[in-house]
């Protein structure tokens, strides 16, 4: 099964449990739209489901409680819950599916799009580098948006994915919702792999990986939530990648593959975002990386660590947001 088929199967399960997840399923031009956090309340279980769908079923997502002392926590005794993601098909799960690689923008509607449907639409240059395009019979995707998609957007997404409208399933949540916040915090592993791709690292050497990030409380509005979720990864995100025969590349690219390599590092993301005129593309792209990145060579067992966690900056972000 491909990413879309596996993700669609998981999403079908969410639709069937919509009531238990505080989610609501709608139909737009034959496309099913599962509201996980726009008008619907949603919750952590809906967010975990969204994150698993985003990975196309090629990764696992778990939530550890606040204060967890295990090595899997964001840091020992972290006062926030920890979102942990693992995958043994990390490049496919993260770059062909989970990465929010393009935006849906029409008159009156805007959303960040992610999930396996990207591999079916494959309009991004990224797919020229990684391949992994799909021609599925069904498609599934995520929209990070403050509104549910209108009929014309649903219809155009089904057409672009090459599936009948009744074979497309969309999961939608705003950032300032429990599900929306969790599914963004579940992108630590994706952030690391995408950064390495940008730097020119040979992604074929990556065999698997795991990422953790603290789960911040839900922001009072989407702007606050964007700040909190980005700070969770930039200052509290930790990733371990299993690689093969990559010692030279690790030494070359590792120092630049952490958020601390950016001159913008240190300030809460909302301040950086505001200073950039609320334009993601005006921010130093070097900032978008996890705080800590560890490489493990599968042949030798050698470990190399770059960057470090900044719990104090995460706490400052929470305080600034009144959380």
Instruction: Assess whether pLDDT exceeds 80 at residue 320.
Output: no
Going by C-beta distance under 8 Å and a sequence separation of 6 or more, which residues neighbour residue 300?
none
Residue 279 has a CB neighbour count (10 Å cut-off) of 8
pLDDT score at 279: 83
pLDDT score at 168: 98
Going by C-beta distance under 8 Å and a sequence separation of 6 or more, which residues neighbour residue 288?
191, 194, 195, 234, 259
Q: Order of strands, edge to edge, in the sheet holding 102-106?
A: 24-28, 31-37, 168-173, 139-144, 109-114, 102-106
d(C-alpha 35, C-alpha 200), whole Å: 37
Q: Which stretch of 165-179, 257-271, 274-288 has the lowest confidence by average pLDDT?
A: 274-288
Domains, the chain, ordered by start: 3-320 (3.30.1030.10)
- Quick one: which of 179, 115, 177, 106 has its CA closest to 143? 115
- Terminal-to-terminal C-alpha distance of the chain: 42
> How far, in whole angstroms, is CA 109 from its chain's centroid?
21
How does residue 281 score in pLDDT terms, banded at 50, 70 and 90? confident
Instruction: Assess whether pLDDT exceeds 80 at residue 1.
Output: no
pLDDT, tens digit, for every residue of 115-145?
Answer: 999 999 998 999 999 999 999 999 999 999 9
pLDDT score at 110: 94
Pick the more confident residue, 11 or 277. Answer: 11
- Quick one: which of 195, 281, 176, 203 has its CA closest to 233? 195
pLDDT score at 292: 98
Confidence (pTM):
0.96
Percentage above 90 pLDDT, the chain: 93
User: What is the bridge-based pairing of β-strands 109-114 and 102-106?
Assistant: antiparallel
d(C-alpha 24, C-alpha 248), whole Å: 50
pLDDT, tens digit, for every residue of 39-83?
Answer: 999 999 999 999 999 999 999 999 999 999 898 999 999 999 999
Q: Which stretch of 31-40, 47-56, 238-247, 314-323 has the lowest confidence by average pLDDT?
A: 314-323
What is the average per-residue pLDDT within 191-195? Answer: 97
How does residue 252 score in pLDDT terms, banded at 50, 70 and 90? very high
3-state secondary structure string, the chain? Answer: CCHHHHHHHHHHHHHHCCCCCCCEEEEECCEEEEEEECCCCCCHHHHHHHHHHHCCCCCEEEEECCCCCCCCCCCCCCCCCEEEEEECCHHHHHHHHHCCCEEEEECCEEEEEECCHHHHHCCCCHHHHHCCCCCCCCEEEEEECCCCCCHHHHHHHHHHHCCCHHHEEEEEECCCCHHHHHHHHCCHHHHHHHHHHHHCCCHHHEEEEEEEEECCCCCCCHHHHHHHHHHHHHHHCEEEEEECCCHHHHHHHHHHCCHHHCCCCCCCHHHHHHHCCCCHHHCCHHHCCCCEEEEEECCCCCEEEEECCCHHHHHHHHHHCCC
């Amino acid at each position: 099964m491909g990413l879309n088929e596996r993700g669609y199967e998981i999403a079908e399960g969410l639709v069937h449990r919509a009531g238990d997840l505080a989610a609501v399923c709608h139909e737009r031009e034959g496309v099913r739209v599962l509201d996980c956090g726009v008008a619907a309340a949603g919750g952590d279980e809906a967010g975990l489901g969204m994150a698993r769908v985003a990975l196309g079923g090629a990764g696992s997502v778990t939530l550890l409680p606040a204060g967890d002392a295990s090595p899997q926590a964001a840091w020992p005794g972290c006062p926030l819950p920890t979102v942990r993601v693992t995958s043994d098909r990390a490049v496919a799960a993260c770059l062909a599916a989970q990465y929010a690689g393009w935006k849906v923008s029409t008159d009156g509607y805007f959303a960040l799009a992610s999930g396996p449907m990207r591999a079916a639409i494959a309009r991004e240059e990224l797919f020229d580098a990684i391949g992994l395009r799909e021609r599925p019979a069904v498609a599934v995707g995520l929209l990070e948006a403050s509104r549910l998609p209108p009929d014309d957007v649903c219809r155009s997404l089904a057409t672009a994915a090459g599936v009948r409208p009744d074979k497309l399933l969309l999961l939608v949540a705003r950032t300032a919702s429990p599900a929306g916040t969790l599914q963004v915090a579940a992108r630590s592993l994706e952030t690391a792999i995408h950064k390495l791709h940008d730097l020119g690292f040979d992604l074929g050497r990556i065999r698997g990986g795991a990422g953790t990030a603290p789960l911040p409380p839900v922001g009072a509005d989407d702007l606050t939530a964007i700040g909190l979720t980005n700070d969770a990864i930039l200052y509290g995100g930790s990733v371990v990648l299993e690689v093969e025969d990559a010692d030279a590349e690790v030494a070359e690219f590792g120092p630049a593959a952490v958020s601390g390599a950016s001159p913008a590092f240190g300030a809460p993301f909302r301040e950086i975002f505001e200073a950039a005129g609320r334009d993601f593309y005006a921010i130093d792209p070097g900032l978008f990386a996890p705080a800590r990145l560890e490489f493990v060579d599968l042949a030798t067992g050698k470990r190399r660590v770059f960057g470090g966690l900044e719990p104090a900056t995460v706490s400052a972000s929470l305080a600034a947001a009144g959380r």
